[in-house]
Each structure stands twice: as C-alpha cells, then as structure tokens.
Amino acid sequence: MKEYPMYIGGKAVSTDHTFEVINPATSEPFARCSAGTAEHVDLAVQAAQEAFISWGKKSDDERRAGCMALADALEANMKELMELVTMESGKPFEGLNGVGSGMEVGGSIGWTRATASFELPVELIQDNDEARIEVHRKPLGVVGSITPWNWPLLIAIWHVIPAIRAGNTVVIKPSSFTPVATTRMVELANQVLPAGVLNIVTGEGGVGSALTKHPGVSKIVFTGSTPTGRRIMEASAANLKRLTLELGGNDAGIVLPDVNVKEIASKLFGVSFHNNGQTCAALKRLYVHEDIHDELAQEIAQIAKETIVGNGLNEGTQLGPVQNADQLKVVEDLAASVEAQGGTIVAGGNKIAGNGYFFEPTIVTGLTNGSRLVDEEPFGPILPIIKFSTIEEAVRLANDSENGLGGSVWSNDIDKASKIAMQLECGTSWVNEHGAIQPDAPFGGVKQSGFGVEFGTQGLKEFTHIQTLKVMK
C-alpha cells in the first residue's frame, strides 16, 4: 500500500503516525497518508511566509508562468491523477453525462490555465494637474485552504491557483477522506514552483483547526458544510482573517408546464445525479408544475432505474458509490423518512448489497417543504420531485430555504424563465441548465451558503487587498 508524505517548504515530510484512505467502492483502504499535527501547520505556515517574501514580488508574467507549468505537469500525469481521484472519491472515469474523474482532472488543467491568464491591472482614478490616484491590487500573504471530499482535486485547484496567481503562498489541508490526488498535485507543483509557495498538511480535524486559528495565515478559503464554516469564522476572528466560504447548498429547480417532458427528463436527471448528487450546486429540490408533474416524475424514475451503478474503475459505470460510510447513513436515513412524512419512493430507495457504499438512484414524490428530504441537503443520490400550481407558489417554495447557492428555471419561454430566475434567492441562477460553472464567471452563495466569490477576475480579487497610491503634482 503506497504511503503519501506531506510537502512543507519543498520537501517531503513523513510521520510515524499515518491514516488509511478508503476506496468507497470496496470499503477497503488503498493508500496511507502522513498524519500531520499543529506543529506541522506551524512549519508549513513558516515556510509559506518565507516563500512569500520573494513570490509576492514576482512579476505577473513569472507567476503566470508558474501556474502554466503546473497545468503542464497535471496534463502530463492526467491518467495517474484520474485513477487516484476515482479510487478515493468513487466517481467513475467518465461518469453520467461525462461527469467523472476525467472531467475533474481535465477541468483542473483548464481552470489552471484560464485563471493564470487573468489580469489585475492598475485602476486609474484621477490624473490631472493636481494629482494622480492609482488603485493597486496586492497579495495578502499566506492563504490557508481547506477542501472537501466531493471534488478533491478540482476544488483544490479552485483554491490554490488564484491564490498563487495573485502572489500569495498557500498551505492546503485536504479532507482526510480524499487527500491523495491533492497530495500528488502538490508534489508536482513543488517540481515547478519555488519551495514553500505551495505546502500541504494532511490529517484529521485538528489540522484544519490549527490552520484557521494560526496568526500567520492572512486568509482562509473553505468549501464545505455550513456548520464548519461558522466554526471557521469564529476561529478566524482573532487576527481578522479574510474569508471566502462556499458552504452548503440545497438548490431548487422550477419546471414550467411548456417543456417537452421526454426531452428534458434526462437533462434534469443529469444535473441532479452527476457525482451521485455529491455536488454543492447539484439540483436537489425539483419543483414541477402540476400539469406535467406525474409524467415527468415517471420519466425521471425510469432513467434512475436504468442507470448503471458500480465501481468507477469499470468501463460503462455511470454512478459510483457514496464517498463515505457517514454520508451513506445520511442518505439511508432520509430515504427511510419518506413514507412516514407522506412521500412515495418511485425508484430506488435502497442500499445496494455487497462491498462499498452504493445506494440506488432514488426518486421521491408526494413531499413538499417541511419534510426532511426537502428541507435538508441530502448530498447523495436521492431527489424529491414536488408539485406546484402557480409560479408564485414555486418561487416561494424554492426560496423557503436557509441556503442560497444556486437555482434554476426550465421553460421554452426564455424571457419568462429569466425573469423568474432573477427572483430566486441564490448566488447563481440558470435557465434550462443547473450547476454549470466556468472559470471566467463568478460563483458564490448567499444566505447560509456562504459569502465571497470564486472564479473570474472577481474571484482573483478576493486574494488581494487594495492599496491606493495618491501622488500630488
């Protein structure tokens, strides 16, 4: 079984104490990682601080070249990284609608190159006989990154690349469920970037806590649950760390009665179930007009029954396992609550027998807001389809959530759908799509789904502070 060290100050750091990484398709360990401590966080922050002295002064061209070199290294090792992502996260190589580890690694490469190309030019406020006023964007210092288990490599790239492109240095702490692909990425980064620019400390909860509290860290970027985000806010208050928090989502989609049911069913299933529903911005509550509710639910249920679930290493697999045993239990509990709360399971509903954390793609009807499955984010392969009568009712139900990450409206009337989409209380609204993101469009949540944005120049600016220069003439 291969062991993966940490990387601090450009050097591999192994520990006597390690932890196992489980393949969720087999429920058996396939790798071991070094178990870091608060002392390792101290060493990593110190290394990042030392590297920042020179990295923060590099030119845009030099920092861009470093990011591009990392993209080249990821591409050269794409097959290996895909295998690691599949073994630790469970997602298939290709997956449902092409959403699998190939997309994750390919997206990581593309995102790196796109982000490297962004510019933060000096903004000229005034230039006259009296004075010249310029606004400059400067790096913050050391950025702490804490990443989740659902898209381990891609989300690491979302955190790391804008940080180093803006001139910061980074200490990353990946989820202990999925640290392997990220560790390999950091190893590759240390072959093309100066020592200390990107460091990794692997371990369990104590490592993340030490990072969020550390006085040498200027910013924390975190993707994960809302309760953990609140704890990070509290821990970061001591030295007023900057924060970008992308937290829980329980995204709603509204389907109007003018759609072609047979054409739209597979699209709706895909945006709800890719990566087994384990995506923050997956569609998790589907509100369908009463005129087409039964027909659409039947179509989606049939797709669920025909979907191929299995080990992501096997060709043809569309959905893999739930990533870990705890999350599988969440999905099982929600499925068990359906009947007692007046709902009907029309497809799936059961754990799949055998090794691994497999659960049938599950479609539920007969529920509405106030039931557990609708109000709680399942983060797994289970979707409630909810009937509505009027647009006003649909918007009210969609907005009746403490979360506000994404939302969508589905209709052949684009203008009407766009107006409804703008009424949704969320950071991103889609029309006839859901969850589609890209590196040049800002993405973030409102309400309890967090604050700050990622992607685009707006996301890059989150890793800088403003310095205004006024020169009297």
| Residues with a known catalytic role | 246, 280
Is residue 246 a contact partner of residue 159, using CB atoms and an 8 Å limit? no
Is residue 224 a contact partner of residue 390, using CB atoms and an 8 Å limit? no
Rounded distance between C-alpha atoms, residue 259 and residue 413, angstroms: 9
3 state SS of 19: strand
Rounded distance between C-alpha atoms, residue 94 and residue 72, angstroms: 21
Neighbouring C-beta atoms of residue 148, cutoff 10 Å: 21
| DSSP H/E element including 267 | helix 261-273
Q: Which of 58, 140, 151, 55 is nearest to 99 (CA)?
A: 151
Q: Which of 117, 136, 216 is nearest to 169 (CA)?
A: 216
| DSSP H/E element including 80 | helix 78-89
Is residue 255 a contact partner of residue 296, using CB atoms and an 8 Å limit? yes
3 state SS of 137: strand
Residues 6+ apart with CB under 8 A from 279: 150, 151, 435
